[in-house]
């Protein structure tokens, strides 16, 4: 009887950890920035980055941009439904009147949602 209780407890713990890990893996993605661009109030240099986001009330997301494991920018955004999975990672920038570029959207390979900024 004790072994059945232990086995059941172990199975529930494994399921809980798997669920947390799966949920966490959905809320981040890597991208490469080819040219300097602004996100939020921060200018990002060309390079490789990781975006991590947490969903907030009303469909908004709080996005942290990391490089080499350190947060280099934060911004507010939202998740945008693409209708079908993106075939590749893509960063869509918008040209601003001050001749700067701002990140408008980040698409992640094989995901049906993108991060959208400034909408």
Q: What was the pLDDT predicted at 12?
A: 56
pLDDT tens-digit readout, 40-77: 999 999 999 999 999 998 889 999 999 999 999 999 99
pLDDT tens-digit readout, 12-29: 545 454 444 444 447 999
Question: Got the DSSP string for 15-59?
Answer: HHHHHHHHHHHHTEEEEEESS-EEETTEEEPSEEEEEEEEE-GGG
Start-end of H helices in 27-69: none
Q: What was the pLDDT predicted at 118?
A: 83
pTM for this entry? 0.75
């Amino acid at each position: 009887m004790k072994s059945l209780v232990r086995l059941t407890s172990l199975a529930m713990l494994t399921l809980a950890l798997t669920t947390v890990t799966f949920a966490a893996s959905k809320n981040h993605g890597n991208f490469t920035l080819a040219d300097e661009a602004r996100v939020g109030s921060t200018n990002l240099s060309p390079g490789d980055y990781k975006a991590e986001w947490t969903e907030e009330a009303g469909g908004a997301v709080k996005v942290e941009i990391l490089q080499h494991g350190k947060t280099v920018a934060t911004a507010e955004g939202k998740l945008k439904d693409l209708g079908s999975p993106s075939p590749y990672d893509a960063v869509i920038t918008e040209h601003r009147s001050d001749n700067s570029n701002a990140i408008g959207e980040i698409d992640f390979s094989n995901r049906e949602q993108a991060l959208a900024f400034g909408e």
